[in-house]
Amino acid sequence: MPQDYELPDLDIAWCPGCGNFGILTLLKKALAELSIEPRQLVIASGIGQAAKTPHYLKSHVFNGLHGRALPAATAIKAGNPQLTVIAQGGDGDMYGEGGNHFLHAIRRNPDLTHLVHDNMVYGLTKGQASPTSQPGFVTPLQVDGVCQEPFNPLSVAIALNASFVARIYVGAVAHAVTVLKAALRHHGYALVDILQPCVSFNRLNTYEWFEEHCYFLEEGHDPEDRQAAFARACETERLPLGIFYRDSKRKTFEEHLAAYRHDSRPLYQRSPNTGRLHELINDKRLN
């Protein structure tokens, strides 16, 4: 049976028409279709409009500092590998303030899903350019327009051999839900860059702009071909949507931990009176 993720009578603090509403709906659909129970779900987020998303879902939530959702999510999964763990935030939160954690999460390959709401602008702080803002984009701070090349999270992730890399658009509902479900089922780190409009502070990358500048990867695309995936990720004139790359052979961060080599139970289920730590504490050599 589909699970109920609704929190009734809740005032959602997003602008009318914000793409975050669509992402919230997509996530609910994907979780329900996979029958993931709310009590088995933890969503970690930082600061920003996108980072408010877990507040509007019936699940466990960790809300931390700007850009710091990934290390918290990694620790939560390491503490209890039986949980479904999602790290969620905006393009500024995850690729700007949290850029260093983004790089090292890929290297560690924790078994979690990384959802990035990519509206190419800082929405919470009233419209500054973000790492993914397009060249020429004029903001109250970048009055002559953005001059830097946008950060390309997909090409960076594939270059670092992330085990799952995908991009979806909030307006392509059926396709987006299918990709989200694949990411949630993936065993390892799964990046999903989610294109969405900011209707208040980004008048360049509108719903119409995304409709004109996005297309779906063809059925013949091989997500196990890393070089081909990297080439597609580097396309910027039009933005491909779909699963770019997938490597199911990499071991996860949790599988490398000594704590789980001989005991697969979460740490909280183990007796404090057993194990090597207890032996060391009671060893006379430490007294």
On whether residue 2 sits in a domain, the answer given is: no
Q: Report the candidate in 109, 84, 89 with the shortest Cα–Cα distance to residue 34.
A: 84
What pLDDT band is residue 11 in, cutting at 50, 70 and 90? Answer: confident
Residue 279 included in any domain: no
Residue 154 lies in a domain: yes
Amino acid at 285: R
- In the DSSP assignment, the letter for residue 29 is H
- The pLDDT tens digits of the residues spanning 204-256 come to 999 999 999 999 999 999 999 999 999 999 999 999 999 999 999 999 999 99
What is the C-alpha to C-alpha distance for residues 54 and 89, in angstroms, rounded to an integer?
Answer: 10
What CATH number did the domain enclosing 163 receive?
3.40.50.970
Are the beta carbons of 119 and 198 closer than 8 angstroms?
yes
Phi and psi torsions of 168, nearest 5°:
-135, 165
In a domain, 275, yes or no: no
* pLDDT in the model for residue 124: 87
Q: Are the C-beta atoms of 57 and 29 separated by less than 8 Å? A: no
For residue 121, give Cα distances in angstroms to 146, 223, 282: 11, 29, 55
Mean pLDDT, residues 46-72 = 94
Give the model's confidence band at 283: pLDDT under 50 very low, under 70 low, under 90 confident, else very high: low
Pairwise CA distance, residues 93 & 161, whole Å: 22
Torsion of CA 169, 175, 179, 182, to 10 degrees: 170
8 Å CB contact between 157 and 114? no
3-class secondary structure, 70: helix
Q: Is residue 190 part of a domain?
A: yes
User: Residue 275: pLDDT band by 50, 70, 90 thresholds?
Assistant: low
Indicate whether 216 belongs to any domain. yes
For the chain, how many structural domains are there in total?
A: 1
Q: What is the reported pTM? A: 0.92
Tell me if 7 is assigned to some domain: no
Give the orientation angle of helix 69-79 with respect to helix 99-108, to 10 degrees: 30
Name the 3-class secondary structure at 148.
Answer: coil
3 state DSSP class of 63: strand
Residue 136 forms part of a structural domain: yes
Q: What is the mean pLDDT of residues 89-99?
A: 95
CA distance 175 to 210: 15
Domain of residue 185 covers 19-251
